[in-house]
Chains A and B, each alone.
Chain A
Amino acid sequence: MAKMKGATVINTERCKGCGLCVIACPFQVLALSDKSVNRKGYNYAVTVKEDTCTGCTSCAVVCPDGCITVYRKKEE
């Protein structure tokens, strides 16, 4: 079976750092930023393990603010 590779783009200014995407991700691709904050003062979500993302969209579906855009491509 062809492997799917995914990528997430996070709107960090819109993110409120609730962390629901971090829990929803089955491959621990996302984490909350350690020290950096956005303009609202929240520790926003960041992609930490880019390679393991399969583009399942779980993170984006549970995001209450619709901050995450997901892309997916078949690996050749």
Chain B
Amino acid sequence: MDIKEIIQPENLVYKKPELLNDTPMHYCPGCSHGVVHKLVAEVIADMGMEEKTVGVSPVGCAVFAYKYIDIDWQEAAHGRAPALATAIKRLWPDRMVFTYQGDGDLACIGTAETIHALNRGENITIIFINNAIYGMTGGQMAPTTLLGMKTATCPYGRDAKLHGYPLKIADIAAQLEGTCYVTRQSVHTVAAINRAKRAIRKAFEYNMAGKGACLVEMVSTCNSGWKKTPANANKWMEENMFPFYNIGDLKDINQ
């Protein structure tokens, strides 16, 4: 069969989601952000909520998220995305509101906003990209950096005596009364991406049903910050991140 025969509109099985526009993404090659952006765009389109979704973009690598997905966005001050999302959701209860935050934004400067928004049970979803490093500013140590992991500000590896212990935000969130769905996913293989997509969809549906706050943590790679190739970064994540940040649902009120 000729290739031209296969490349016909009726044979199309996968293409870039319509909501994800043609603006070239500023992310490094192989960055997990791109895949998560794609999943968010796909889920919003699948739910038919293109006109009724408001995203809140953070400060960090995902600061320009509003340039890539064609929905309504607001840009929050550093770490304050859950506070802004709370206001949007309370004023506009029929909107689907989510924040998209990295570990520096959510687990460091915005810890208070995050925990209190989740504890109040606001009907928002927090999509949390955990790559255990500050990617945008050049690979400094983050609250989520693993013990022994080398970064620009802990070149001999993170030491518990000096730097404290890594923070498991999703485990904290699962203990709060206000959350209805807390999960930890990854996007390094096709199977993992499909699971992550289902998790985002479930979180958005719980929000629209008014069940409470949702947190979807994505254990991600930062190949530039980790100084690895995209393929090696995925391997490193499987070997080192997954034993500490266990993948799976931590809380689901419907189960």
Contact = CB atoms under 8 A, between A and B. Distances in A.
B26 to A, nearest CB: 11
A59 B219 CA distance: 20
Nearest to B41: A66
Contacts of B28: 16
A24 B6 contact: no
B8 interface: yes
Interface string A51-76: 00001011011111111111111010
23 contacts: A5-B1, A6-B6, A16-B28, A18-B29, A24-B190, A42-B29, A61-B14, A61-B190, A62-B35, A64-B34, A65-B25, A65-B27, A66-B34, A66-B38, A69-B12, A70-B14, A71-B7, A71-B8, A71-B12, A71-B13, A72-B11, A73-B1, A73-B11
Given A58-B190, A62-B189, A72-B13, A18 B230 contact: yes
Contacts, number: 93
A73 B27 contact: no
A23 interface: yes
Contact of B5 (A19, A62, A68, A73): A73
B3 interface: yes
Q: Which of B16, B189, B229 has the most C-beta atoms of chain A within 10 angstroms of its own C-beta?
A: B16
A7 B5 CA distance: 10
Main secondary structure of the interface of B (DSSP, over half): mixed
A65 B7 contact: no
Interface of B: 1, 3, 5-8, 11-17, 20, 22, 24-25, 27-35, 38, 189-190, 193-194, 229-231, 234
Interface of A: 5-7, 9, 14, 16-20, 23-24, 40, 42, 50, 55, 57-58, 60-73, 75
A26 B218 CA distance: 25
Contacts of A50: 3
Contacts of B231: 19-20, 23
A7 B30 contact: no
Contact of B17 (A18, A55, A66, A68): A66
Contact of A65 (B3, B12, B14, B34): B34
